[in-house]
Structure 1
Amino acid sequence: MLRSALPALLLATPLAAEVPVTVTDIAPVQGLVASVMGDLGSPGVLVPQGASPHDHALAPSEARSLQNAGLVFWIGPDLSPDIGRKIGTIASGATVVTLADLPVTQHLATRDEVIFEAGDDDHDHDHDDHDHDDHDHDGHDHDGHDHDEHGQDDHDHDGHDDDHAEDAHGHHHGPEDPHVWLSPDNAAAWLDVIAGALSEADPENAATYAANAETARAEIDAAVAQARETLAPAQDARYVVFHDGYQYFEAAFGLKVLGAIKLSDATDPSPAHLLALREAVAKTGAACIFAEPQFNPRLIDSVTEGNEVAVAELDPLGSTLEPGPGFYPAFITDLADRIAGCTGR
């Protein structure tokens, strides 16, 4: 009797929901998602170590990863144009969370000047001048992620012509700096959205996702506190970055950056740009110039010519760090250590 009842009992038991196949665009986002997933799964990443999301074209294996995804977390098309063009077609069956478009995401305006206003309190931490109601979130529900239509029409670069002037290199100069993951406040705010999207796809593990998000937030807070202490001696130091990808980090920690060799979209600088930067370095006595592993460092010579200035490496993607749940706190710590180490020489 027990033997005959067992199949019926098994049929009456609801099938456990599977942990969704999850894909991210860049390593810092992968780290945040991994911290929420914990032991339940490991999200993939589309932009490999050493590549720049500004111009990375998906390899066939990366396209297949995107095609098989049930959940996609990415910054947005202003950072990764090729991924933006592919998501709507390759990941048509996935739930897509565009982090830059979330109402919780704080934005800073793109800087188009050769030399930044170092030392001024121009960074607006309240971001009141960026009204998120102006963004079209019709493709999002209340926790910020997309459903069946994914709002992809909103992310098609053909629809950005009115707002973005495209230069000769095919880059888009958006009104807002797309390097939003370098704000620890943004990263912490995204954790709940990530947990919500995962919980909707996998409700049986919702409590685990929520608990993991809370733990991850505490770890980010601890890393930020440590970074503030590390960077305290560097508050008045001037330095140059290879490309203007660190504005959110600068705003979070009150740093004074003289300028960038490449602008926010990684556009190649003009000779006049390099000359102005070289003169500014000589005038201010900038302590350091930071190279990046994603770009050829030869342009640094144009800025250091005639100047005694240290050169070190800074990476907005944390390419040398171990991927996984602890990535983002280690990322904040690594950036702070590198800036303090070079500017304090």
Structure 2
Amino acid sequence: MRCFLSKIQTCIVILLTVFTHNSFAKSDVSPKVLASIKPLALISNEITQGVTEADVLLNKTASPHDYVLKPSDMVKLKQADLVIWVGPVLEHFLNNTLTDASNSLALSAQPSIEFQHFTHEGQISIGDFEDGDGDLNPHIWLGPDQALQAATVIANRLSQIDPQHKEQYQTNLVKFKLNLQHTVDSIQQQLASVRDQGYFVFHDGYDYFENKFGLDNLGYFTVDPERKPGAKTVAKIHQALLSHKAVCVFSEPQFTPAIVTTVIQGTPAKHGEVDPLGSDIKIEPGAYFNFLTSVATGFKSCLQQG
């Protein structure tokens, strides 16, 4: 008898937990939306306008490439109704926590998002690459086409778990598409005069943006920012700079290796900086489009000096 009552109590606890976790679907409570990194939070926030504000897990100085979860992060992940992340290919630190979680939305698992694979032909780089997801390019937030696909996935998932705000999410998605097209048109004009200027980047993370806007990336130091570039790679880049094949070498706020400063010494190349995570972009309406523009500005500000 005591065993039977214990089972009933357990079932009641489970039902209460499920009801509490999904209570926003039947009340005025808004869902808690958490994104792993700032750019995904910026995209998500465009979709949640008028309902809730998307939060971000990593602070502005952190990189998803080498992040370690804190106890406070675990609390945020468990309390969120929807956690949006690229997937195991980028946020390795979330694998154990989110792989089978019901509140997880891994964008890399969505067939409607057109992920690219790293193409190493013609690039100056050294490294080992794995089959499957190992060569998947996770930086989809830098590609306008992929950003729209991600926004669509996010809007549809939110419409499912929070049907009372479905109309708002879908309306925001339409606005996102219109604002994105306007931003793309503006950036095309902004970068038109520097498309023939060659450059190198610290890590190979800009393909989506470069392919969309026709920039002339000559190569990179490393695919993974945690890996130091080999001496052969550095020597080839230095020689390319000496021969005036590139006018800029770009680093990132999250990774400012001394090797970048060293490799441009004695060459006419300039040192530029591009922030692929939008560290200083405030999460507010229109911020994702400001982020894309800031990336374009980072490229042009150095390349136009060539």
- Please tell me the TM-score bracket, short chain as reference: 0.7 to 0.9
Q: Distance in 1 between matches of 2:145 and 2:66?
A: 26
Structure 1 residue 61: deviation in Å? 1.6
Change (3 A) 1:101 1:60: same
Structure 1 residue 325: deviation in Å? 3.0
**What are the within-5 Å matches in structure 2 for residues 278-297 of structure 1?**
278-297=238-257
Find the partner of 2:195 among 213, 235, 252: 235
Q: Contact (CA 8 Å) 1:288, 1:310: kept in 2 or not?
A: yes
Q: Contact (CA 8 Å) 1:74, 1:97: kept in 2 or not?
A: yes
Q: Contact (CA 8 Å) 1:111, 1:263: kept in 2 or not?
A: no
Q: Distance in 1 between matches of 2:131 and 2:199?
A: 31
Structure 1 residue 83: deviation in Å? 1.6
Structure 1 residue 19: deviation in Å? 2.0
Aligned position for 1:47: 58
Structure 1 residue 268: deviation in Å? 1.5
Change (3 A) 1:209 1:241: same
Q: Distance in 1 between matches of 2:273 and 2:130?
A: 36
Aligned position for 1:122: none
Structure 1 residue 318: deviation in Å? 0.9
Q: Contact (CA 8 Å) 1:44, 1:65: kept in 2 or not?
A: no
Q: Distance in 1 between matches of 2:90 and 2:74?
A: 18
Find the partner of 1:194 among 146, 154, 172: 154
**What are the within-5 Å matches in structure 2 for residues 25-44 of structure 1?**
25-44=36-55
Aligned position for 1:57: 68
Q: Contact (CA 8 Å) 1:17, 1:203: kept in 2 or not?
A: no
Q: Distance in 1 between matches of 2:280 and 2:166?
A: 32
Partner SS state of residue 41, structure 1: coil
1:199-237 per-position Cα deviation (integer Å, ceiling 9, x unaligned): 111111110111011111111111111000000001100
Structure 1 residues without counterparts, runs of 5 or longer: 1-13, 118-160, 165-172
Aligned position for 1:257: 217
Q: Distance in 2 between matches of 1:65 and 1:261?
A: 35
Q: Distance in 2 between matches of 1:71 and 1:59?
A: 19
1:112-147 per-position Cα deviation (integer Å, ceiling 9, x unaligned): 468359xxxxxxxxxxxxxxxxxxxxxxxxxxxxxx
More relative contact order, 1 or 2 (CA 8 Å, 6+ apart): 1
Letter in 2 for 1:206: K
TM-score, with structure 2 as normaliser: 0.84
Structure 1 residue 266: deviation in Å? 4.4
Q: Contact (CA 8 Å) 1:195, 1:209: kept in 2 or not?
A: yes
Q: Distance in 1 between matches of 2:60 and 2:222?
A: 20
Q: Distance in 2 between matches of 1:221 and 1:267?
A: 36
Structure 1 residue 265: deviation in Å? 5.6
Q: Contact (CA 8 Å) 1:32, 1:191: kept in 2 or not?
A: yes
RMSD of aligned residue pairs (Cα, Å): 2.2
Structure 2 residues without counterparts, runs of 5 or longer: 1-24
Q: Contact (CA 8 Å) 1:114, 1:277: kept in 2 or not?
A: no
Structure 1 residue 162: deviation in Å? 7.8
Q: Distance in 2 between matches of 1:71 and 1:264?
A: 28
Q: Distance in 2 between matches of 1:241 and 1:208?
A: 39
Structure 1 residue 342: deviation in Å? 0.8
Structure 1 residue 38: deviation in Å? 0.4
Aligned position for 2:107: 99
Q: Contact (CA 8 Å) 1:25, 1:74: kept in 2 or not?
A: yes
Q: Contact (CA 8 Å) 1:56, 1:82: kept in 2 or not?
A: yes
Question: How many residues are treated as equivalent by the alignment?
Answer: 278
Partner SS state of residue 243, structure 2: helix
Change (3 A) 1:51 1:297: same
1:241-285 per-position Cα deviation (integer Å, ceiling 9, x unaligned): 111110110011111111112214642211121111111222244
What percent of counterpart residues are identical? Answer: 31
Q: Contact (CA 8 Å) 1:112, 1:263: kept in 2 or not?
A: no
Structure 1 residue 306: deviation in Å? 2.1
TM-score, with structure 1 as normaliser: 0.75
Q: Contact (CA 8 Å) 1:192, 1:213: kept in 2 or not?
A: yes
Structure 1 residue 185: deviation in Å? 0.2
Aligned position for 1:138: none
Partner SS state of residue 311, structure 1: strand
Letter in 1 for 2:78: Q
Letter in 2 for 1:62: D
Change (3 A) 1:216 1:187: same
Q: Contact (CA 8 Å) 1:30, 1:324: kept in 2 or not?
A: no
